[in-house]
Amino acid sequence: MQEKILRMAVITLGIALLGGNSIWGQDLLTTAHPKTDGWKNLFEEDLSNAVFEPGGWVIESGVLRAEDHGTIWTQDSYGNFVLDLEFRVAAGANSGVFLRAGDIHNVLSALEVQVHETADASKYGMVGAIYDAKAPSKSMAKPAGEWNRFTITCWDSRIYLVFNGEQVINIDLEDWKEAHKNPDGTRNKFSKPLKDYARRGPIGFQGIHGQEGKAVWFRNLKIKVLD
């Protein structure tokens, strides 16, 4: 009987977490932006817990800004978590949020949530897409120069994205069973199935990707670890 009760408690906790009920006194929603009071800052103000090329990134007045094309990574690795952030881009800018990198020297070892003004050559290259794998269910981007908000939840094989108040991504990586192929039959550039990607790794932010002046800024980078 005790074992049955314990199993039911675990199931109830999982449903509550993914369904948006109050956990640890905090509404952790996969369909709306949460309150982040008391959450951990992803980066220290002096970037002492970050990995990046010197001079590549700066924080000024709480805003993280790329100075060149290099990626900035967390020193810590994360498995199950909620990441909340705001970003804005210059016209024509192209960046991304990398999740659970298997190797920080190879960005293709991480899932990328696209940060973009519009889109690029990829079918799944618009802002809010899981790059080259899944488009957002709707376009929620604000015009270049305005602040946008992402809430990204990673829970085992599930990935959720709330973008400016709307859930636009709700996927299970187990559905990506083949290399170079998405569940809808379209081709992607990944040399192994996404189901086999690391479930724990550093979080990263892509720098200026393209011409000089195509800037990107991030602020209010907050994380809630769920492990």
User: Domain range for residue 45?
Assistant: 31-225
Share of the chain above pLDDT 90, in %: 73
- Do 20 and 78 belong together in one domain? no
Instruction: Count structural domains, the chain.
Output: 2
- Do 10 and 47 belong together in one domain? no
- Do 11 and 119 belong together in one domain? no
- Do 138 and 188 belong together in one domain? yes
Q: What is the pTM of this model?
A: 0.87
| pLDDT (0 to 100) of residue 189 | 94
- Do 14 and 105 belong together in one domain? no
Strand order in the sheet with 94-99: 50-51, 72-74, 204-205, 94-99, 111-116
Tens digits of residue pLDDT in 174-208: 999 999 999 999 999 999 999 999 999 999 999 97
- Do 9 and 55 belong together in one domain? no
- Do 20 and 124 belong together in one domain? no
Q: Among 12-16, 61-65, 127-131, 171-175, where is mean pLDDT lowest?
A: 12-16
- Do 2 and 105 belong together in one domain? no
Torsion on CA atoms 129, 130, 133, 138, rounded to nearest 10:
-30
- Helix, strand, coil share (%) of the chain residues, nearest 5: 10, 35, 55
Q: Please, which pLDDT band fits residue 2 given cuts at 50, 70 and 90? A: low
Q: Which CATH number covers residue 133?
A: 2.60.120.560
| Residue-averaged pLDDT of the chain | 87
| pLDDT (0 to 100) of residue 212 | 54
Instruction: Give the side-chain half-sphere CA count within 13 A for 95.
Output: 28
Q: What average pLDDT does this structure show over 62-86? A: 95
Tens digits of residue pLDDT in 203-216: 999 997 655 557 89
Locate 154 and state its tokens. Answer: 């990673």
- Which residue(s) pair with 132 in the sheet? none
| pLDDT (0 to 100) of residue 22 | 45
- Which residue(s) pair with 219 in the sheet? 63, 86
- Do 123 and 193 belong together in one domain? yes
- Do 19 and 46 belong together in one domain? no
